[in-house]
């Protein structure tokens, strides 16, 4: 899947920086409904019975077989989750769709195909299609009769998507747009039937079109890639392709709204897939560590292996908390608007743009960390194709590149927060200082004030050019990501504790270790910003806050990680 780009629209976002939440405000995976779990189970069984035993056919590029799998997935309703009921869909929540995505992530290649189809291949029509377009295409996308794809990237324009060169010229009879140009890296490119293609009308009006393959789209050969060997990625050639004027998607000149908005929810849903991949890698590593013996004992007994298992697990715990929180918030916002009111729906999604980018970066980097450490646990066998560590390592790499590179997403976080800064107002911390996690809540409050202070300092120092201070802004984004992670982890921990769950102490260890390390990271990042400001002849107002964050007492992370690792080893997998 996709995609890059610098974004241009003005939206709100990042409210978590100025408000405090109670655990009741935060959705966690522990609260998935019976119905959501059943869909998940259906998807998991489908993957176990139909996809995983046949993955070799995907790696051999048997795209006819992938189409068959997509049809079978459709028969189980897995392609219609987010399509409105009026067009043959189920109109389910983002949480439901993301939970299904989590099950499908056990095969990253197939997840690429089905994810591209159901998200970026279908949602542009769901959110931007007119009645006729929805009636024509959505039932066929829901049934798997048509496979969808999304064609934005070009050889010369990736992150800078609006610089696309593909042109659309109205035919003399006014009935068609003739599309000319080339697209790059299109997931499902080898066999999709319906492409959302972005092209410029009259050389300047960036516009989305629904283009059927049969209109004349030609695919290049499958790219030879580092990973996702079983997913089709090709260039597309558009050589005077006549697209009926009825197939303009949305408004001429407003293709950027289609391009950018589709990404936001995609980024969070990708988050559940990333964490699912990370959990699987951790589970495989745990099993291996318990079986493999060196120096007369299982390697799982060594401190350095325990440290890895614990760190992998606690990052999964926090990442999970973040993505389900964002999905829950998005669903609540969507529930509050009429699903038929497209602008209202988009506005509801847009307001979480910062959270979407935060999740994309955190979960893709968690996945990268976990697959790397999992491979290390396997030692030399980790490097072998005979063991289940090297493929996930290769497959994971793309998640930091597509759906907006992590550089672009870090810039989205900081620049949007800069824009919203004036409107923000600080709130008092939620905790009264007496609870078991009060030290972490105090850190959270100081870190929020620190992030706001750094943004204000950057705005004061650089004015309109603050957005160009990328290295400085990336430090702030990293602090913001840690803030969202700590807050989400705390809420999930409190909920688990309130249920009296056996794992409550493990959850508390996980969030405390995470917060301990995050305090050091945040203080380090803030110092770099303060020094850069000093270098530019500006003072930072944040010295006290940096000291407060740096002074977070933290916990004995060595002992806490040992306890977390013991829980992982006892369970034989990620225990949450």
Work out whether 93 is an interface residue with ligand FAD (CB under 6 A). Answer: no
Nearer to ligand FAD, 69 or 151 (CB): 151
Nearer to ligand FAD, 150 or 352 (CB): 150
Tell me the window of 151-159, 311-319, 380-388, 511-519 that interacts with ligand FAD (CB under 6 A): 151-159
Contact 319, 271 (CB under 8 A): yes
Q: Does 408 bind ligand FAD (CB under 6 A)?
A: yes
Gap between the Cα atoms of 26 and 22, Å rounded: 7
- CB closer to ligand FAD, 153 vs 542: 153
Secondary structure, 3-state, 424-489: CCCCCCCCCCCCCCHHHHHHHHHHHHHHHHHHHHHHHHHHHHHHHCHHHHHHHHHHHHHHHHHHHH
3-state secondary structure 62-114: CHHHHHHHHHHHHHCCCCCCCCCHHHCCCCCCHHHHHHHHHHHCCCHHHHHHH
Shortest reach from residue 533's CB to ligand FAD, in Å: 21
How many beta carbons lie within 10 A of that of residue 449, not counting itself? Answer: 19
- Interaction between residue 159 and ligand FAD (CB under 6 A): yes
| 153 binding ligand FAD? (CB under 6 A) | yes
Scanning 360-368, 397-405, 521-529, 542-550 for contacts with ligand FAD by CB under 6 A, the matching segment is 397-405
User: Binding of ligand FAD at residue 124 (CB under 6 A)?
Assistant: no
Minimum CB distance to ligand FAD smaller for 195 or for 324: 195
Select the span of 180-188, 314-322, 359-367, 440-448 touching ligand FAD (CB under 6 A). Answer: 180-188
The nearer residue to ligand FAD, 2 or 78, going by C-beta atoms, is 2
Piece of the chain touching ligand FAD by CB under 6 A; list 149-157, 291-299, 377-385, 511-519: 149-157
Q: Binding pattern to ligand FAD, positions 433-472, x when CB under 6 A?
A: -------------------------------------x--
Among 116, 232, 364, 477, binds ligand FAD (CB under 6 A): 116
DSSP annotation of 223 reads: P
| Least distance (Å) between residue 266 CB and ligand FAD | 11
Within 10 angstroms of residue 419's Cβ, the number of other Cβ atoms is 16
Asked if residues 330 and 268 have their Cβ atoms less than 8 Å apart, the reply is: yes
Question: Interior CA angle at 484 toward 265 and 26, to 5°?
Answer: 70
DSSP letter for each residue of 215-283: GT-EE-PPP--SS-TTS-EEEEEEEEEEEEGGGEES-TT-HHHHHHHHHHHHHHHHHHHHHHHHHHHHH
Distance CA 161, CA 256 (A): 9
In the numeric block, which tokens belong to residue 67? 């189409």
Choosing from 154, 311, 355, 403, the catalytic residue is 403
Q: Minimal distance in Å, beta carbon 60 to ligand FAD? A: 18
Q: Which of 87, 317, 378, 402 lies at the binding interface for ligand FAD (CB under 6 A)? A: 402
Structure tokens at 409: 């997403």
User: Closest CB to ligand FAD among 233 and 261?
Assistant: 233
Residue nearer to ligand FAD on the CB measure, 7 or 509: 7
Q: Is residue 151 a contact point for ligand FAD (CB under 6 A)?
A: yes
Distance CA 274, CA 282 (A): 12
- Which of 2/361 has CB closer to ligand FAD? 2
State in angstroms the smallest separation of the CB of 7 from ligand FAD.
11
Residue 276 binds ligand FAD, judged by CB under 6 A? no
Has 403 been annotated as catalytic? yes
First to last CA, the chain: 28
Which residue lies nearest ligand FAD, judged by its C-beta? Answer: 158
The residues near 402 (Cβ < 8 Å, ≥ 6 apart) are: 1, 2, 3, 4
- Map the footprint of ligand FAD across residues 215-234, applying CB under 6 A: 225, 228, 233
Strand, helix or coil at 189?
coil
Instruction: Report the alpha-carbon distance of residue 567 to residue 576 in Å, rounded.
Output: 10
Instruction: Label residues 254-280 b or e (16+ Cβ within 10 Å = b).
Output: ebbbbbbbbbbbbbbbbbbbbbbbbbb
- Can residue 185 be called a binding residue for ligand FAD (CB under 6 A)? yes
Please list every residue from 232 through 251 that binds ligand FAD, using CB under 6 A.
233
Answer yes or no whether residue 66 interacts with ligand FAD by CB under 6 A.
Answer: no
CB atoms inside a 10 Å sphere around CB 423: 8
Kindly tell me which of 394 and 573 has the beta carbon lying closer to ligand FAD. Answer: 394
**# binding residues, ligand FAD (CB under 6 A):** 26
3-state secondary structure of 177: strand
Q: Which residues bind ligand FAD (CB under 6 A)?
A: 1-4, 6, 116, 150-153, 158-159, 185-187, 225, 228, 233, 398, 401-402, 405, 407-408, 411, 470
The catalytic site residues sit at: 403
């Amino acid at each position: 899947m996709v995609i890059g780009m610098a974004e241009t629209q003005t939206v709100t976002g990042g409210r978590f920086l100025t408000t405090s939440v109670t655990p009741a405000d935060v959705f966690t995976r522990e609260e998935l409904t019976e119905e959501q779990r059943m869909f998940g189970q259906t998807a998991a069984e489908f993957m176990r019975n139909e996809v995983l035993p046949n993955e070799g056919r995907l790696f051999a590029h048997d795209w006819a077989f992938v189409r068959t799998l997509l049809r079978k997935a459709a028969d189980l309703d897995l392609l219609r989750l987010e399509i409105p009921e009026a067009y043959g869909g189920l109109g389910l929540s983002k949480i439901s769709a993301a939970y299904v995505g989590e099950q499908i992530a056990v095969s990253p290649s197939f997840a690429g195909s089905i994810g591209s189809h159901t998200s970026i291949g279908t949602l542009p029509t769901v959110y931007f299609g007119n009645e006729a377009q929805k009636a024509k295409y959505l039932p066929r996308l829901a049934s798997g009769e048509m496979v969808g794809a999304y064609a934005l990237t070009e050889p010369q324009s990736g992150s800078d998507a609006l610089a696309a060169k593909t042109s659309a010229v109205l035919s003399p009879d006014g009935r068609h747009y003739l599309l000319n140009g080339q697209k790059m890296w299109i997931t499902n490119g080898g066999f999709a039937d319906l492409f959302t293609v972005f092209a410029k009308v009259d050389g300047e009006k960036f516009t989305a079109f629904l283009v059927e393959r049969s209109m004349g789209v030609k695919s290049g050969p499958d790219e030879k890639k580092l990973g996702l060997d079983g997913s089709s990625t090709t260039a597309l050639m558009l050589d005077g392709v006549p697209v009926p004027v009825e197939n303009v998607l949305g408004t001429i000149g407003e293709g950027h709204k289609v391009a950018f908005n589709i990404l936001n929810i995609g980024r969070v849903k990708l988050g559940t897939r990333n964490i699912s991949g990370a959990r699987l890698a951790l589970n495989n590593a745990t099993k291996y560590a318990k079986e493999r013996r060196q120096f007369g004992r299982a390697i799982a007994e060594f401190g350095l292996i325990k440290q890895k298992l614990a760190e992998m697990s606690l990052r999964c715990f926090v990442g999970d908390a973040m993505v389900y929180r964002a999905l829950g918030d998005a669903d609540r916002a969507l529930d509050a608007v009429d699903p038929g009111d497209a602008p209202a729906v988009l506005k509801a999604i847009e307001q979480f743009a910062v959270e979407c980018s935060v999740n994309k970066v955190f979960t893709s980097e968690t996945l990268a960390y976990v697959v790397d450490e999992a491979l290390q646990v396997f030692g030399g066998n980790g490097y072998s194709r005979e063991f289940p560590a090297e493929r996930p390592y290769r497959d994971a790499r793309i998640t930091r590149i597509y759906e907006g590179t992590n550089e672009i997403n870090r810039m989205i976080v900081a620049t949007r927060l800069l824009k919203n800064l004036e409107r923000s107002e600080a709130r008092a911390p939620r905790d009264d200082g007496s609870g078991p996690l009060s030290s972490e809540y105090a850190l959270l409050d100081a870190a929020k004030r620190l992030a706001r202070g750094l943004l204000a300092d950057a705005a004061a120092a650089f004015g309109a050019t603050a957005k160009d201070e990328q290295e400085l802004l990336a430090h702030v984004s990293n602090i913001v990501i840690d803030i969202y992670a700590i807050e989400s982890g705390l809420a999930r921990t409190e909920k688990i504790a309130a249920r009296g769950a056996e794992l409550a102490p493990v959850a508390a260890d996980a969030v405390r270790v995470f917060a301990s390390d995050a305090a050091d990271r945040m203080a380090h990042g803030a110092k770099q910003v303060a020094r850069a400001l000093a270098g530019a002849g500006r003072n930072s107002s944040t010295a006290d806050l940096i000291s407060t964050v740096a002074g977070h007492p933290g916990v004995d992370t060595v002992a806490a990680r040992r306890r977390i690792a013991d829980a992982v080893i006892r369970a034989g997998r990620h225990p949450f």
